[in-house]
Amino acid sequence: MVNDPGAMARPAGGPLIVQSDQTLLLELDHPDAEECRGEIAAFAELERSPEHVHTYRMTPLGLWNARAAGLDAESVCASLRRWSRFCVPDSLLAQVTETIGRYGRLVLEDDPRHGLVLRTSDRPVLEEAARAKTIVPLLGPRLDPDTISVYREHRGRLKQALIKLGWPAEDRAGYVEGSPHPIALREDESFTLRGYQRNAADAFVASGSGVVVLPCGAGKTAVAMAAMAKVSSRTLILVTSTVAARQWRTELLAHTSLTEDEIGEYSGERKEIRPVTLATYQIVIARRGRLLPHMEALSAEDWGLIVYDEVHLLPAPVFRMTADIQSRRRLGLTATLVREDRKESDVFSLIGPKRFDVPWRDIEAQGYIAPASCTEVRVTLADEERMAYALAEPADRYRAGATARSKLAVVEALCTAAVAAGEPTLVIGQFLDQLEALGQRLHAPVLTGETATAERERLFGAFRCGEVPVLVVSKVANFSVDLPEASVAIQVSGTFGSRQEEAQRLGRLLRPKHDGRQAHFYSVVARDTNDQEFALRRQRFLAEQGYAYRIVDAEQLLGERAG
């Protein structure tokens, strides 16, 4: 049990109610709510975010990530006691301490005589792991009561299996240097590493693998370039699209010593392997029968560092590849570790734990990302749309509500106001027929997954220079697209309740504006449908970061515009 006599003496009145089922209730109207949120977000995940009380939950993975990032059980328990309105249940404090204490009782190390080994500071834990059916095939001979040899090729799979068993191993086995290749940062008046970027790169290099979590627009690419300069070896950078690869190339050429001849693109259009190679996830997992020839070609190179851009999107085959290359340094970059398929544990075990994280509002307060307001605009469906929704099959109801034509007038009114104010605007959606209808109504170009790479680059360029004030985009613009000029986004439909998508879409707006203006994120939602329910789910991650959604009625909004 955890004994804390001081907790009993703490006066009531904190913003947090800590419950024995590991849920935390945060009262938003309390004056200490924001400070409390900043602390508990390091180890708890937001589950529900209604207007006045938010519900967080502590999970083993969240607590292990916190431990890997430097928080210990004493610090977590101290935060709970500090903010709790009532005495924290001793049973919960004991459970938190026990869960955090599971991380690191098993350690992977490189033994000078025996190679890769699994060691323990708690012998019964090693005995439990060594007898698990999923783990037995990954282990070699027993070396002593506290040490078992490990087949080197199973390093990643062993970590996956151990985390599923509930005993996450701390990987201290080190990394091969890879083929050296000199890379230097070019810092000058136009580009200097920010303090948090330098700290993030240092935290990664000190550990050798793991994930850096920073808001969209906060300069994750700069963190990667700083890490590349410190490692100075051949580097593979995996990205979401060819457009993203070319944006990375531009940044590398502008801010490092790398030349055109040193940077290769490995995509559907080009197959270049060079000292620094930018490859798309799509080409890496492209199959030829049962084979993955491009993955095999890239895996054969002597990389010293592999960078995973938007690491929360990793497809399963890339996870499998990563399980086989655990001796390489691996850096994951993301704005949110949330995965809707619940495979965050694979990111933890195969890429590495979270090594650095800064709340979005903290970066905003430093002036490095733009302030943003979030508004949910609720639309009442016409009678025929309500009937169509009611008669739709359950699998089709979300589309029926999300694509209702009643949304079009609202989007048009928002776009008209934004253009009149000189605010470059993105209209973002999920369904292509809806986007085409919006493009026609707004007289705006439509960019989807079917748009050729050259045309995508042309449209993005026209948007950046102001030639195109409104751009209608599908989910292809969710990730790794640099549009610093965008200051308004209007979301008309999304991928059901995807929190990561909501965060990425707001992220399109967060590059600081030259005039310091605030960004505006609108989500147009059909009232009394599951479109409204999914919108609430999507907002959870941003609510955790301190963003509040103002809810307005579409009829009122249109009336104000008409007046």
Could you tell me what percent of the chain has a pLDDT over 90?
63
Has residue 49 got a pLDDT over 80?
no
pLDDT at 237: 97
Average pLDDT (428-454) is 92
Residue 88 identity (one-letter amino acid)? V
pLDDT at 5: 44
Range with lowest mean pLDDT among 68-77, 133-142, 232-241, 551-560: 551-560
Is domain 370-562 annotated with CATH 3.40.50.300?
yes
Token pair, residue 481, equals: 């697209």
pLDDT at 7: 43
- Alpha carbon distance 400, 254 (integer Å): 46
Average pLDDT (473-487) is 75
Has residue 12 got a pLDDT over 70?
no
Residue matched to tokens 């399980």: 323
Say which residue, 181 or 323, is predicted with more confidence. Answer: 181
Residue 332: enclosing H or E segment and its boundaries?
Answer: strand 329-334
Average pLDDT (60-84) is 93
- SS3 (DSSP) at 280: strand
Average pLDDT (43-69) is 86
Has residue 326 got a pLDDT over 60?
yes
Query: What's the CA angle centered on 11, arms 9 and 13, to 5 degrees?
Result: 150
Residue range 80-115, pLDDT digits in tens: 999 999 999 999 999 999 999 999 999 999 999 999
Which among 321, 310, 313, 308 has a CA at the least distance from the CA of 341? 313
- Write down the architecture of domain 195-361 according to CATH: 3-Layer(aba) Sandwich (3.40)
- Alpha carbon distance 351, 337 (integer Å): 12
Q: How confident is the model at residue 407 (pLDDT cuts 50, 70, 90)?
A: very high
Rounded to the nearest integer, the mean pLDDT of the chain is 89
pLDDT at 514: 73
- C-beta atoms surrounding 354 within 10 Å: 25
pLDDT at 210: 93
Has residue 178 got a pLDDT over 50?
yes
Average pLDDT (378-403) is 91
Q: How confident is the model at residue 406 (pLDDT cuts 50, 70, 90)?
A: very high
Range with lowest mean pLDDT among 228-232, 274-278, 322-326, 537-541: 537-541
